[in-house]
Structure 1
């Protein structure tokens, strides 16, 4: 894991920072010298993470917000202040068939996976433009481009995020703002293991290397896209799925 000071003097906001990929991203950015604003829904988990990362030398603080609520999302942006790096990692994923997905579930996917990044970029990108510096990274999903018999609302919301990435790269690129997405395949997180239960090991069979992704692997890519080493990368959707299988093995 990176331990340099490439991001010293920069402030990052990481949504969904209390678990999974978001937590690994927050740790990486803090270790590279960034001041990190952690976001999550659970204040107790957030404060525990603040203590954990502070003990490692990180400069971090936590803001609780509900990204299904537009006003609360805008409050998060206001309380975060001037942000140089925005990582939209928070996500909702419910892999249900279309007939079993009601309007509330559909709206929840788009509220968190697409609308929240839209509102945060709308609130925070103007400050980046004034400073002529900024990096915005979205955590997408292979579900945006690999159809499955379940999870249509999730896949559609992540496809929307990919398209927003390309629009924003065009809209803000001339002002020195880069916008990119990392698109992981299945990743072993608390959420995916809880959802799959005893079937969690099936994730190992989803790519050619035969091993499910780990949060730290995706976080390293996010950190690359967020930092100066990727200065010539803008509007990209970086696929990180371990190598696509044409079909799952029997």
Structure 2
């Protein structure tokens, strides 16, 4: 790797599996010191071992994200202490997807999904972004989703939270961008660690990619948005979805 994130610190939520894990590993490979956050300590320690074994630097910070300000404050405090420095890059990745229809969604599920997917990143950003602004630099990366813009039958609740995150990306870019804090988002398509037999491949038919993407491909976009290479990029949502939301390929 080229050391594109040398000297930077990062907090990645939901970093013990899938996209979050790939982002944490990619950040560390590029020289960042990473706070890997998640609920499962065993999985978290495996990610830490993988990063440290490859010569990177990472620490595990457990967190049960419940949408409360106090939980967000505690996570920031513990991550900052473990990193030994202020946070340069925040990745709001943690999220839950119940996959229920609108009529079948009860109030408790609704509240939980919004707590994890929207309230937690809202409060984390509210705590971390002002500190970044005081230093005059920082990057915040939110995770959106292709289904925030291309409707499917069973995803109304989840899609609405990702639509909220894409809107907040633009709002935060306006709020903190003038102080040197870049806020952007990634909108992944169907993603699987095994693309040869991924359930999401059916959704990718008729797209340029014609197959699901991998967590590493999402992580590549995150590295770009975290690095100084994206210094002139503010308030955008990068679609890393194989063309799912933009292009239809018609077979001849």
TM-score (norm 2): 0.90
* Separation (CA, whole Å) in 2 of partners of 1:230 and 1:198: 32
1:182-238 superposed Cα distances (whole Å, 9 cap, x missing partner): 101111159x9xxxx994542442733211111111110111111111111000011
What corresponds to 1:103 in structure 2?
107
Aligned to 2:91: 87
Matched, 1:131 2:143: no
Give the alignment of 1:93-242 within 5 angstroms: 93-188=97-192, 199=199, 201-205=201-205, 207-242=207-242
Is the CA contact 2:93–2:142 (under 8 Å) kept in the aligned structure 1? Answer: yes
Cα distance in structure 2, aligned partners of 1:9 and 1:198 = 37
Unaligned runs of 5+ in 2: 81-85
Residue 11 of structure 1: aligned partner: 9
Q: Confirm or deny: 8 A CA contact 1:132 1:176 kept in the other structure.
A: yes
CA distance in 2, matches of 1:159, 1:64: 27
TM-score (structure 1 length as normaliser): 0.91
Cα displacement string for residues 88-125 of structure 1 (whole angstroms, at most 9, x for unaligned residues): 11111122110111111111221111111111111111
CA distance in 2, matches of 1:63, 1:93: 23
Query: What is the match of residue 72 of structure 1?
Result: 71
SS of 1:62's partner is strand
Q: CA deviation at 1:68?
A: 1.9
Aligned residues: CA RMSD: 2.2
Paired position in structure 1 for 2:83: none
Measure the CA separation in 1 of the matches of 2:125 and 2:111. Answer: 20
Once residues 20 and 203 of structure 1 are traced to their aligned partners in structure 2, the CA distance between those partners, rounded to angstroms, is 19
Number of equivalent positions: 243
Distance 1:140 1:200, change over 3 A: closer
Q: Secondary structure at the match of 2:159?
A: helix
In structure 2, C-alpha distance between the alignment counterparts of 1:204 and 1:165, rounded to whole Å: 26
DSSP-derived class of the 1:101 partner: coil
Cα deviation, residue 5, structure 1: 1.4
When residues 140 and 206 of structure 1 are mapped into structure 2, their CA distance, relative to the original with a 3 A threshold, is: farther
Kept after mapping to 2: 8 A contact 1:87/1:138: yes
Instruction: Single out whichever of 180-189 and 131-140 deviates more from structure 2.
Output: 180-189
**SS in structure 2 at match of 1:38:** strand
